[in-house]
A and B are shown apart, each in its own frame.
Chain A
């Protein structure tokens, strides 16, 4: 029986290796370019749910978000505990609005590594957006199969001091060019965070991750599940959507 199981495992491993090896050879830059074709958009609007697994409890946050490119985003939380709390991101700066005190506060730089609303996603993760090529040297690191999908593995090494992670590894779906898995490492090689795509949907010619789980390996708990719905790409936005004026409305 043991031999039979070993045979099955070997056969399965051989099959996955075959599937992954079928991917055409692409450079790291080309894979990143194809990834960007899916990830870069004019504008995006969606409703989101964050389920923060704290081990014994799950905190659920509801939000409405709009973004323009990688540089501008506006998020409003609508769940009862955080209702009306808003974030405005312009470039590398972030402001937060507290509705109870009608107060707008610029988030200090040292807070950018903290979890956004207690989640496993840091402000910095949210800010990083699509500026990977500016901060990292990208190189292909082989192929793999993840949940039946052939993937390219990309290794990203920080080339600037202010990169949020020293090393990142991406598993990029070889056919749909979305990131199915990402690992973020410290300089010491310690795994800091891991994200897995839980849902991928097609919008016209664009494949997009609509659900993922991010896990901060330095925190207790089971990570944060983030799901997007009612997605709209290239929606028309008011001219002042990304302004302090609208943040306080």
Chain B
């Protein structure tokens, strides 16, 4: 059980007990959702096998938007089948007495736990939070902090341990300074971003020192990019279609100076459109180039994301998404069919398919297929 698990169990357990009798005016509210998942998966090099989990997502909210706020979110998962076996394996490999087969293993994950203090001219936040600068659904070269989680059906983003200072400059503009809290300070990421709105277009410009720790974590430890100075621009607006764009430059940092010769660059262009309130299309293209080592989740030279969603009515929706590393011929496809089957309750059928080195990190996956169902109850 890691540090996040300890936080999750101690903090949320305590608040669960506390908030049971809490009055709303005391400012603590606990809510969340229960999810059950069961899937059958197979791979080129593996026979079909079963995996699944039951998860309790607990969300905590305390305080208010006027003076100070506490926000937390974490999952307590019980893993079954192959996922449980994968969690058990390191202990077995280390010679630790293994748990009996069939044992359900808890797997806690703390997504967010932070406090924000609202001063007259500044907002200060500290803890694990999602610092989300990306304009893209999947490809966000401007986003150093909140990498997309390709293992998540919803393509959600991960939290970062950080301290953040937001200085508003106007209703739609401000300066946002963030420093990640890395175990080793030199691996951390720190800098600032200015954001604003011009002629109805949202934009941002950022400059950061990036120690590489976040990128290494996001890529699952594949590659350890050197420290660099990272600069980015991002844009979101309308030109008949919804348009989003990001560009970033990463210049290695050596002996207190940048090395322009070892730079890597990335550019993303995305468009979205809807038809008749029922069909939604989202397309993104990411190009990564330059002589230096790329960073971020997707490091392939040419990448494409396409998503087509269909909303039959307010209760039923279908979605098909594909992420492609065009250079490697690698791909990930996700298809879902969701239906609200009762108040607060959603049932989802899904399929995940893919093969190859999707992220361009050098780790190629054999072709795999998975199909499953998911039941989610909010409370």
Chain A residues within CB distance 8 Å of chain B: 52, 54, 57, 59, 80-81, 83-84, 90, 92-93, 100-106, 108-111, 113-115, 118, 219-221, 238, 240, 242-246, 249
Tell me if B237 is interfacial: C-beta within 8 Å of chain A: yes
Question: Number of B residues contacting the other chain (C-beta, 8 Å)?
Answer: 46
Q: Which of B65, B116, B202, B242 contacts A110 (CB 8 A)?
A: B242
Q: Which of A80, A115, A238 contacts B378 (CB 8 A)?
A: A80
CA distance A108 to B238 in the complex (A): 6
* Contact bitstring B219-247, A, C-beta under 8 A = 1, else 0: 00000000000000000111011100000
Establish whether residues A90 and B274, one from each chain, have CB atoms under 8 Å apart when the complex forms.
Answer: no
CA distance A57 to B272 in the complex (A): 30
Establish whether residues A111 and B242, one from each chain, have CB atoms under 8 Å apart when the complex forms.
Answer: yes
> Contacts A81-B344, A90-B172: A102 and B314 contacting too (C-beta < 8 A)?
no
Q: Which residue of B lies closest to A109 (CB)?
A: B238
Establish whether residues A249 and B65, one from each chain, have CB atoms under 8 Å apart when the complex forms.
Answer: yes
Establish whether residues A83 and B31, one from each chain, have CB atoms under 8 Å apart when the complex forms.
Answer: yes
Establish whether residues A113 and B277, one from each chain, have CB atoms under 8 Å apart when the complex forms.
Answer: yes
Q: Which of A59, A80, A220 has the most CB of B within 10 A?
A: A80
> Contacts A110-B241, A244-B172: A102 and B129 contacting too (C-beta < 8 A)?
yes
**Chain A residues, CB < 8 A from B333:** none
**Chain A residues, CB < 8 A from B313:** 54, 219-221
Q: Which residue of A lies closest to B169 (CB)?
A: A245
Establish whether residues A103 and B237, one from each chain, have CB atoms under 8 Å apart when the complex forms.
Answer: no
**Chain A residues, CB < 8 A from B116:** 249
> Contacts A54-B313, A106-B236, A114-B277: A243 and B172 contacting too (C-beta < 8 A)?
yes
Establish whether residues A57 and B156, one from each chain, have CB atoms under 8 Å apart when the complex forms.
Answer: no
Q: Which residue of A lies closest to B167 (CB)?
A: A245
Establish whether residues A111 and B65, one from each chain, have CB atoms under 8 Å apart when the complex forms.
Answer: no
Q: Which of A93, A104, A108 contacts B272 (CB 8 A)?
A: A108
Establish whether residues B273 and A115, one from each chain, have CB atoms under 8 Å apart when the complex forms.
Answer: no
**Chain B residues, CB < 8 A from A242:** 171
**Chain B residues, CB < 8 A from A244:** 171-172, 174, 195
Further contacts, 19 of them, CB under 8 A, given A110-B274, A244-B172? A54-B314, A80-B378, A83-B59, A100-B156, A103-B130, A103-B157, A106-B202, A108-B272, A109-B238, A110-B238, A110-B242, A111-B274, A242-B171, A244-B171, A245-B166, A245-B168, A245-B174, A246-B65, A249-B116
Q: Which residue of A lies closest to B346 (CB)?
A: A81
Describe A's contact surface by its main secondary structure: loop
Nearest CB of chain B from residue A209's CB, rounded to whole Å? 24
Tell me if B118 is interfacial: C-beta within 8 Å of chain A: yes
CA distance A249 to B124 in the complex (A): 11
CA distance A109 to B241 in the complex (A): 8
Establish whether residues B314 and A52, one from each chain, have CB atoms under 8 Å apart when the complex forms.
Answer: yes
Establish whether residues A115 and B66, one from each chain, have CB atoms under 8 Å apart when the complex forms.
Answer: no
**Chain A residues, CB < 8 A from B272:** 108, 110
Establish whether residues A103 and B200, one from each chain, have CB atoms under 8 Å apart when the complex forms.
Answer: no
> Contacts A54-B315, A245-B123, A249-B69: A109 and B242 contacting too (C-beta < 8 A)?
yes
**Chain A residues, CB < 8 A from B277:** 113-115
Nearest CB of chain A from residue B269's CB, rounded to whole Å? 15
**Chain A residues, CB < 8 A from B236:** 105-106
Nearest CB of chain B from residue A30's CB, rounded to whole Å? 35
Q: Which of A59, A90, A93 has the most CB of B within 10 A?
A: A93
Establish whether residues A240 and B242, one from each chain, have CB atoms under 8 Å apart when the complex forms.
Answer: no
**Chain A residues, CB < 8 A from B112:** 102
Q: Which of A103, A106, A221, A240 contacts B132 (CB 8 A)?
A: A103
Nearest CB of chain B from residue A186's CB, rounded to whole Å? 13
Q: Which residue of B lies closest to A241 (CB)?
A: B171
CA distance A102 to B66 in the complex (A): 18
CA distance A101 to B137 in the complex (A): 12
Q: Which of A83, A100, A108 contacts B242 (CB 8 A)?
A: A108
**Chain A residues, CB < 8 A from B168:** 240, 243, 245
* Contact bitstring B88-120, A, C-beta under 8 A = 1, else 0: 000000000000000000000000100010100
**Chain A residues, CB < 8 A from B123:** 245, 249
CA distance A243 to B195 in the complex (A): 13
23 example contacts (A-B, Cβ-Cβ < 8 A) are as follows: A54-B313, A54-B314, A54-B315, A80-B31, A80-B344, A80-B378, A84-B61, A100-B156, A101-B156, A102-B112, A106-B202, A108-B272, A110-B272, A114-B277, A115-B277, A118-B314, A220-B313, A221-B314, A243-B170, A243-B172, A244-B195, A249-B69, A249-B116
Q: Which residue of B lies closest to A84 (CB)?
A: B61
CA distance A243 to B167 in the complex (A): 12
CA distance A224 to B124 in the complex (A): 40
CA distance A103 to B259 in the complex (A): 33
CA distance A102 to B130 in the complex (A): 6
CA distance A103 to B195 in the complex (A): 14
Q: Which of A57, A101, A240 contacts B157 (CB 8 A)?
A: A101
Shortest 3 CB-CB distances between A and B: which pairs? A108-B242, A249-B65, A243-B171
Nearest CB of chain B from residue A61's CB, rounded to whole Å? 11
**Chain A residues, CB < 8 A from B378:** 80-81
> Contacts A80-B379, A108-B238, A109-B238: A101 and B130 contacting too (C-beta < 8 A)?
yes
